[in-house]
Structure 1
Amino acid sequence: MDIPRIFNITESAHRIHNPMTPDKLATLGAALRLEAGARVLDLGSGSGEMLCTWARDHGVAGTGVDLSQLFTEQARSRAVELGVAERVRFIHGDAAGFVAEAPVDVAACVGATWIGGGVAGTLELLARSLRPGGLFLIGEPYWRQLPPTEAVAQGCLARSLADFLTLPQLLASFGELGYDVVEMVLADQDGWDRYEAAKWLTMRRWLAANPDDELAGEVRAQLTSEPVRYATYTREYLGWGVFALMRR
């Protein structure tokens, strides 16, 4: 049970597997007015940076679930490094269908809403773990500029223009599902750079160490094409944010 190996390779040096920076994660934690002892569930927790830093900075406790064995191991190591291993735990497993043993104060899925078949299904899944009046956190892409053609949308690695909404449309969609948007922290282009460009050095060093690996050709192709593709499409057209919601 694991994610495709290519992602474990290209993002092996990442602490955050989306365009949020450490400063943005800190801003989000402060904006949510987290209190010591609050319980957080993070489905698709990656390398655990959100849970670990919030445990350190705000005294929260929580559980993260992720399909990547590598990222889960990195999350456990990060918890030890930050001195919060007694307050957070990380489970290697499929977050789809995971329900906390006891109700939590914050239920999050930051950038992995495919686990519920989209935003609506993921919110339904998170609701099974959230106490009444608790906070949902959803991380989602949106169009910061509407691509002029389907080809441009596909250059952003979308299947089509219809894959994402504009920011006003995304916010409205939460209301249509019966949720109030009570906070949001949006990534910026610097955050995108740190997420995407950091992969390139990782790939180059991996290729130098693994020239005969079965994925060497795929990694080489990505390293050759990704800088121009990213600068042409994703950096200009795609936004990303974390949205705090409460059920109406």
Structure 2
Amino acid sequence: MNRDLISRLAHADHPIAAPLGDEAVAALLDRALPRDGATMLDLGCGGGEWLLRALAVRPEARAEGVDLAEPALDHARREAGRRGVGDRLVLHRQDVSAFTAAEPFDLVLCVGSTHAFGGLLPALAAARRLLAPGGRVIVGDGYWECEPSPEAVEMLGDFADLATTVDALTTDGWIPLYGHLSTRQELDDYEWSWTGSLAAQALDQPDVLAVATEHRNGWLRGYRDCFGFLTLTLADGSRSPEAAPGRLDAPLP
């Protein structure tokens, strides 16, 4: 069984595919989406759940998603049709780092997919190239809540702490407008769903069951106590002087 299919099965019971609950996702989208018709792009869309939910609450909006995983894109197509938004969703199967578009987007998302660009700031650089003036970005990435073990770094990557992560964004010209720190319940629910969904669908497949077991052990023994997840709504202050901090006459998001 290939990696993409394993990921699709593992996210069957947690379609948002990131450690956030429904209320957090709704709040982030509500603050980021324009009130009228909008164009949206999800870089690393997976099963498309962020876009599907956004299209449901913005009937005039249109969206595009980019991902390499065909099982996830197939799921997104089926769900878009089932929810009646298929005519407003375009999906691209390609490397997100090579994606280009003829027109910029009002909202660019990259939640849990920054690794495809080589990290958080490179992902935001790609989002900036695709973002319309005055647009918003929703980005989600990990950070260390406390000093990680070498094993945790090897498993997940070399993140920074929360303050250093936010400082890096603001130094790069991004203005945080809203944020969500995943709770312990959200983080644990995501991991239990990931490992449990995969195990439940592979009870008679020892090799796949071993993947679930290895992931669960890595989480419980490696990074559970030190890993956090931050999701932010951002404005691009580097090219939007009217939105700079301290401007009391700046338009509200």
Match of 1:236 in 2: 225
Q: Could you tell me how far apart the structure 1 residues matched to 2:71 and 2:4 are?
A: 11
Q: Could you tell me how far apart the structure 1 residues matched to 2:133 and 2:34 are?
A: 16
Structure 1 residues not aligned, in runs of 5+: none
After TM superposition, the score normalised by the length of structure 1 is 0.84
Match of 1:204 in 2: 199
Moved more, 5-14 or 54-63: 5-14
Match of 1:194 in 2: 189
Q: Within 5 Å, which residues of 2 pair with 1:58-207?
A: 58-59=58-59, 60-147=61-148, 149-154=149-154, 157-159=155-157, 163-207=158-202
Contact 2:134 2:236 in 1 (8 A): yes
* Residue aligned with 2:232, SS: strand
Q: Could you tell me how far apart the structure 1 residues matched to 2:128 and 2:229 are?
A: 23
- 1:150 deviates by 2.4
Give the fraction of aligned pairs with identical amino acids, expressed as a percent.
26
Q: Could you tell me how far apart the structure 1 residues matched to 2:84 and 2:195 are?
A: 31
- 1:57 deviates by 1.3
After TM superposition, the score normalised by the length of structure 2 is 0.83
Q: Could you tell me how far apart the structure 1 residues matched to 2:37 and 2:101 are?
A: 16
Kindly provide the CA deviation profile for residues 131-155 of structure 1, in whole angstroms up to 9, marking residues without a partner as x. Answer: 11211222110112233x424544x
CA change 1:3–1:226 in 2 (3 A) is: closer
Query: 2:162 is matched by which residue type in structure 1?
Result: L
Q: Could you tell me how far apart the structure 2 residues matched to 1:19 and 1:94 are?
A: 23
Contact 2:128 2:236 in 1 (8 A): no
* Residue aligned with 1:47, SS: coil
Contact 1:97 1:125 in 2 (8 A): no
CA change 1:204–1:116 in 2 (3 A) is: closer
Structure 2 residues not aligned, in runs of 5+: 238-253
* Residue aligned with 1:124, SS: helix
Q: Could you tell me how far apart the structure 2 residues matched to 1:52 and 1:207 are?
A: 28
RMSD of aligned residue pairs (Cα, Å): 2.2
Query: 1:241 is matched by which residue type in structure 2?
Result: L
CA change 1:185–1:58 in 2 (3 A) is: farther
Q: Could you tell me how far apart the structure 2 residues matched to 1:152 and 1:196 are?
A: 15
Contact 1:45 1:65 in 2 (8 A): yes
Q: Could you tell me how far apart the structure 2 residues matched to 1:3 and 1:126 are?
A: 26
Query: 1:99 is matched by which residue type in structure 2?
Result: T
Match of 2:20 in 1: 20
- 1:120 deviates by 2.3
Contact 1:3 1:67 in 2 (8 A): no
- 1:13 deviates by 4.7
Q: Could you tell me how far apart the structure 1 residues matched to 2:181 and 2:79 are?
A: 24
Q: Could you tell me how far apart the structure 2 residues matched to 1:233 and 1:180 are?
A: 33
Moved more, 130-139 or 230-239: 230-239
Q: Could you tell me how far apart the structure 2 residues matched to 1:63 and 1:92 are?
A: 11
- 1:247 deviates by 2.1
